[in-house]
Amino acid sequence: MLISAGFYQFRPEFGQKEKNLSLVEDRLGQADADLLVLPELFATGYQFVSRSEVMDLSEEVPGGRTTLMLQDLASKRNLYIVGGLAERDGGNLYNSAVFVGPEGFIGCYRKTHLFYEEKLFFSPGDTGFQVWETKIGKIGLMICFDWFFPEAMRTLALMGAEIVAHPANLVLPYCPKGMPTRCLENMVFGITSNRVGVESRKKGESLRFIGNSQVISPRGEVLLRGPDNEELLGVAEIDPELARDKRLNEYNHIFRDRREEYYR
C-alpha cells in the first residue's frame, strides 16, 4: 500500500511554544499526508541554558498541551504524527518524541543517547526502542544523535520497523550522508525531520541547525531532501511493504546472514 510520508522542517522560536504550535497546526492542517514527522523539541526550541528552563517548558505525556494538540490534528486530518518534546515525569525530564494517530495517543520514546549539553538537563531515556504496528505500517522512533549508534536503528529494524521516524535538531554535518547507510544496512525507510535556524542563547555559542531533512528508501536512496536553511513541508510516496523483505539476492538475507557469535 502506497502512503504519503514526510516531514515538516521549520524554524521554531525558542520559548515561543504557542507560536510554534500554531504554525505547526496551520501547516499540518493543510497537508495531504498519511505520516508527518516534526523536529526534535519542535515547540520549545533547543538551546536551554538551565534545567529550570526545561522544567518550565516541559509537559506530561500523554495529557500535555503539545501531545493533545497533535492528537487533535491527527484525528481531524486522519494523519499519523511524530514530534519531539521536553517530557516531564515527576522530577525527571526527558528529551522525548510522541507518536499519535487518528486513533489517538500511540506511544512515547525517550531519547537514549543524549547529545552534548542535553546531558546537563535531561535524564537518559529509559523506554528503550519501540515499534508500533499501525494501519500504515510498523513504525519505530529514534531521536537525532541516536542515529550515530548503529545499534539503535538495528534494534528497531530487528523489532520489525518498516519506517524509522527520526525527529532531529542536527548541528553536526554528518547525518544527512550517514542515514542512507543506516537505511540500507537495515533495509528500512527513514524519515529525518530536522529544523533550520540559529539559536544563540549562550554567550559565545551559536547553534546553527542544518536542515537537510530526508526521506530515504530501504535501498539507501534519498527520495526527498530539504534545503539547509528554509522551511519545507515535504512528502514522498512510499510503500512500507518494501521494507519487509530483507533478501538482497537468492543467497543473502541481511538478518539471517548475521553472525552474532562474532559480534560484541
| Residue of the chain from 7, 80, 94, 145 that contacts ligand ACM (CB under 6 A) | 145
| Residue of the chain from 85, 144, 187, 210 that contacts ligand ACM (CB under 6 A) | 144
Site for ligand ACM in 107-126 (CB under 6 A): 115
Instruction: Output the CA torsion 259→182→166→228 (10° steps).
Output: 170
**Region of 54-62, 86-94, 165-173, 176-184 interacting with ligand ACM (CB under 6 A):** 165-173
The footprint of ligand ACM on this chain (CB under 6 A) covers a number of residues equal to: 7
| Residue of the chain from 3, 8, 28, 40 that contacts ligand ACM (CB under 6 A) | 40
Please answer whether residues 156 and 112 qualify as being in contact, where contact means their C-beta atoms are separated by less than 8 angstroms: no
Q: How far is the CB of 116 from ligand ACM (least distance, A)?
A: 7
Say which DSSP state 65 is in: H
Residue 175 is among the residues annotated as catalytic for this protein:
no
Instruction: Output the CA torsion 212→217→219→225 (10° steps).
Output: -20
**Is residue 199 involved in binding ligand ACM (CB under 6 A)?**
no
Supply angle C-alpha 190, 194, 199, rounded to 5: 160
Residue 22: all three cell numbers together = 500554531
Residue 19 is among the residues annotated as catalytic for this protein:
no
Reduced to 3 states, what is the DSSP secondary structure of residue 175? helix
Cβ closest to ligand ACM, residue 48 vs residue 189: 48
Q: How far is the CB of 72 from ligand ACM (least distance, A)?
A: 27
Q: How far is the CB of 115 from ligand ACM (least distance, A)?
A: 3
Phi and psi at 63, nearest 5°, equal 105, -20
**Is residue 196 involved in binding ligand ACM (CB under 6 A)?**
no
Cβ closest to ligand ACM, residue 94 vs residue 235: 94
**Is residue 48 involved in binding ligand ACM (CB under 6 A)?**
no
**Is residue 35 involved in binding ligand ACM (CB under 6 A)?**
no
**Is residue 179 involved in binding ligand ACM (CB under 6 A)?**
no
Cβ closest to ligand ACM, residue 9 vs residue 169: 169
Q: Which of 144, 162, 183, 199 is catalytic?
A: 144
Cβ closest to ligand ACM, residue 82 vs residue 187: 82
The b/e string for 118-152 (b: 16+ C-beta within 10 A; e otherwise) is beebbbebeeebbbbebebbbbbbbbbbbbeeeeb
Amino acid at the residue 148: F
Please answer whether residues 35 and 240 qualify as being in contact, where contact means their C-beta atoms are separated by less than 8 angstroms: no
Query: DSSP per residue over 31-45, as a string?
Result: ---SEEEPPTTTTT-
Residue 111 is among the residues annotated as catalytic for this protein:
yes
Say which DSSP state 123 is in: P
Say how far apart CA 209 and CA 18 lie, in whole Å: 21
| Residue of the chain from 61, 86, 170, 236 that contacts ligand ACM (CB under 6 A) | 170
Cβ closest to ligand ACM, residue 38 vs residue 136: 38
Residues contributing to the site for ligand ACM (CB under 6 A): 40, 115, 144-145, 169-171
Active-site residue set: 40, 111, 144
